[in-house]
Structures are given as structure tokens and as C-alpha cells.
Amino acid sequence: MADAKTIAHWLNNATFTGAGATAPVTAPVTNPATGAVTGEVLLASVEDARAVIDAAAAAYSEWRDTSLAKRTQVLFRFRELLNARKEELAAIITAEHGKVLSDALGEVTRGLEVVEFACGIPYLLQGGFTENASTAVDVHSVRQPLGPVAVISPFNFPAMVPMWFFPIAIAAGNTVVLKPSEKDPSASIWLAELWAEAGLPAGVFNVLQGDKTAVDELLTNPKIKAVSFVGSTPIAEYVYRTGTAAGKRVQALGGAKNHAVILPDADLDLAADAMVNAGFGSAGERCMAISVCVAVEPVADELVNRIAERTRTLRTGDGTKGADMGPLVTKAHRDKVASYIDAGEREGAKVVVDGRGVQADGGADGFWLGPTLLDNVTPEMSVYTDEIFGPVLSVVRVQSYDEALNLINSNPYGNGTAIFTNDGGAARRFQNEVEVGMVGINVPIPVPMAYYSFGGWKASLFGDSHAHGAHGVHFFTRTKAVTTRWLDPSHGGINLGFPQNN
């Protein structure tokens, strides 16, 4: 504790420790691989939140009027700095989240793709022009920024998820307030410092540390014009309802229960590899993790055996020491995930691989839970109904493609799904019939490229706008149509009738 750093807010290109006269409230930040407290993050008061929001509002008019050429130059500099120093950011992520370094580096690289997409903002903001739409009347459209916007991001991707949003928002001329998770907040400050180094003017990118107090101020403060959120479904619904009630544009991406269907004709080695990678990568703390493997008989026994063989080879440990899978983010979360394994076992699931007693290569007080494989899971069990967000892969056995499809479509979530098959007709039918926003065919984690949209259906998304791609540009801009007429000094005279084109 004596060596714990203080992780502050970021305002006007400098650290900000608060607006109040009283001592700030803090929360501990831990290294999940050791259990040690490595930092204390400030938790914003309402006054702190308003100070950060006011900075974003004050910077907006100048940044909005900055030319696209100058904005793009800043984006390119940020991209170059991020690419050159991405290993540094990955190490920060591993130290506070726990994911292994290779996974953290992959997270940064996927976020970098959105920065690269945003570098093309001059083309993406092109409007339209119609000459002589009516006699001597021209019409054109423009896309303009909204104003100060908020990004509320989760713990599982402290760099990538914010980068789904803020590069496009900034490139389009908005200013940003990022509210990261209090569990792993240091990546946000590192990114803020990089923006300043890239030449972004003060107040355009700001960081507000905190909990519900900070979130509620972002959702209700009239200076914030839009909110982007990623998190659990109950909180996503709260963010959407509260923000829209305050007159804001809101995109709130919620939880998931992602299924992968394994048809009898599938390559079982490919499918088994994919289930292990997608089920246990990042200790299952991904909104795109496969948590349900739907085995279409008669392949379930063989598939479970192959998944189990691979799972038992995984090494759980400190993410900086070459382990395959790291710890969970907090002790409380580790214990919650373990309780789902307990419940599944009580309810009749077979524990094929048990991660509760894992011997991890890491600190004795780390938040360890090994990869766990459950067979004979049924839709009534809590291990199936709930989003566990941990390294628990459940196998549900079904008799047909139709049964598998109905299982997925009846689930309240609709974030991501996958099918493994060598039958092109079955794959095409699945991609058409499944009620899920992102689909993989022989691909276990169908996270789209930056120039496509990211988002689910049903209870996995509140609002009508997905993240990044054209959806992101649409979300962070609004369209204005301008009708123009330049005539000689004579005019058409008085006419109170509704204008008609001629």
C-alpha cells in the first residue's frame, strides 16, 4: 500500500485530482496475478464530474471548427505513437486486468484498427450536393459533430472498447469524456497522455475516473450530447433509459450468452481448438467469448473428449510469464464465477475439467480459477441462463440443427454466435435464420473489422446504433440539409402557398 500510485482524472491535457475541498474518495486497484494493491483510483464527486465535462464543453467550439486536414494530422500522429508503443500499453493492461501479454497486445492492435479507420474521416464525412434541384435552387447536405460526448467502458477491454468510440468521435469534431472502469483505470490515462503528445488540443479528450456518481452525471448533464456504453445488460438498459430520458443519443451494448453450434459434419479438431480458444481466452472475460458449445449428435462424446484433452494442457498463471490464461480481474469476481460451477454441479452438470483447484503459476493470493468444462448442461441451469463472464464452457447436447437454432433464438441475448460445418447450405441457412448480430462460420469469435459495425441484437443492445464502422460515424454526427438560391435582384413576389419544385 505504501507504494500504491494515485490514478487521477485527466482534464485539459493534465492530471486533475478533484474540484472539492475535502479529501477525495478512492478505490483500490489490484494486480490480479498477485492480489497486491498497486494503486488507488479517484472516485469523482459530482463537482469533479462537472469540472471535467465543462472542460470538454469549453474545447468543443474550437475543435469543431478545426479543419479536417488538421484533425486528420493529429489522428495520424496518435496512430503512429500508439503503434510504436503498443507493448507499453499492453503491459499496463496485463498489470491491472490480468490477461496475458499476447492477449493484451491483441486488444491494443484491434483498437488501433479503429484509429486507422478514423484517419479516413474526410471521406467518411462527405456530404451530398444536388445542383438545380428546383429552378436556380441547389441543395446540399453536411455531417456535423454533436458536441461533448461520453464513453463509459468496461473492465475487460480497457483500451480496445474505448477505442471503438473515441477515435471516430474526435475525428468527427466532437470532444470526449472517457469514464473507464475503476478496476483497471491506468490505460485511460496512458491514452490521454498519448493524445496530448500527438498534439490534440486541451479539453478535447478527458478522463473521468469514478463509479455510479460519475456515470449518473454523464447521463444527466445537459452538456453531454451522446453516450456510448459497453457493459452488462442490466446496466446497459439503465444507461439507455436514463440517458435518453435526458434527451441524449445513446448506444448501450449489453451482455451476451454466445453459442457455437457444432454440426456432425464439422472438422472436430478445428471445432475443439476453437472452443478452447474462444471459451478460455482472457479467462472468459470477453463479451464475445463462446460460453455454450451446442453439440449436435452423434458427435458430442467425441467433441467433449477433444475439448477436454486440449483444456488440460492449458497453463494458468501470471500473464507476464508465458501462461496461456491469466487470473480473473478481482477476488469477488473469481468467487462469483466459481459459485456458478458449484451450482452447475449441484443441478446435474458433469464437471469434465475442474478449474476450482487449479495450481497456478503466479502469486499465492492471485485471483485464480482454471479453465472449466461442463457437460450435459441444460437450459434450466443457472450456468446456462446467466452471463458468467469467466472460464466456464458449457456443453449442451441436441439432436438436430433445428433444435440448436431454436435454442439460440429463444435466448434473450443476441450478441455473437458461430457454426462449425463443412456444409455450405447449412452455414448459409444458419447465417440467415439465427437472431444474433454477429455470426461466425468456422470462426469462433466473429468480431468484425473496424470498417464493419460491432453490435448485438435483443438484450445485447439498447439503441439502434452499433459501434465503429459507418454506424460509428452516423452516431457521432448529425445531418444538416441546406437549400440555396442565388438570384438577380428581382424576387418571385408574395406567395403564401407551400413551396413547390419547378
- For the stretch 269-275, contacts whose Cβ atoms lie closer than 8 Å and that sit 24 or more positions apart, written own/partner, are 269/306, 270/420, 270/442, 271/303, 271/306, 271/420, 272/303, 272/306, 272/307, 272/309, 272/310, 273/310, 274/418, 274/420, 274/442, 274/443, 274/444, 275/307, 275/393, 275/444
Is the C-alpha dihedral spanning 491, 494, 496, 502 positive or negative? negative
The CA distances from residue 296 to 32, 251, 299, 404, 479, in Å, are 37, 36, 6, 7, 48
Using DSSP bridges, classify how beta strands 249-253 and 258-262 pair: parallel, antiparallel or unpaired.
unpaired
Told to judge if 293 belongs to the known catalytic residues of this protein, a careful annotator would answer no
In degrees and rounded to multiples of 5, residue 57 shows phi and psi of: -65, -40
Q: Say which residue the cell 459459485 belongs to.
A: 339
* CA 451/CA 465 separation, integer angstroms: 14
Instruction: Compute CA 402 distance to the chain's CA centroid, rounded to the nearest angstrom.
Output: 31
Helices (H) and strands (E) in the chain, counts: 16, 23
The C-alpha cell at 229 is 456504453
Catalytic position from the list 152, 287, 325, 328: 287
Residue that has been written with the C-alpha cell 482534464 in this structure: 11
Local structure of 305: helix, strand or coil = helix
Pairing relation of β-strands 438-441 and 416-420?
A: parallel
Q: 452 CB contacts (<8 Å, ≥6 apart)?
A: 468, 469
Helices 86-97 and 101-118, packing angle to 10 deg: 130
Catalytic positions, please? Answer: 287
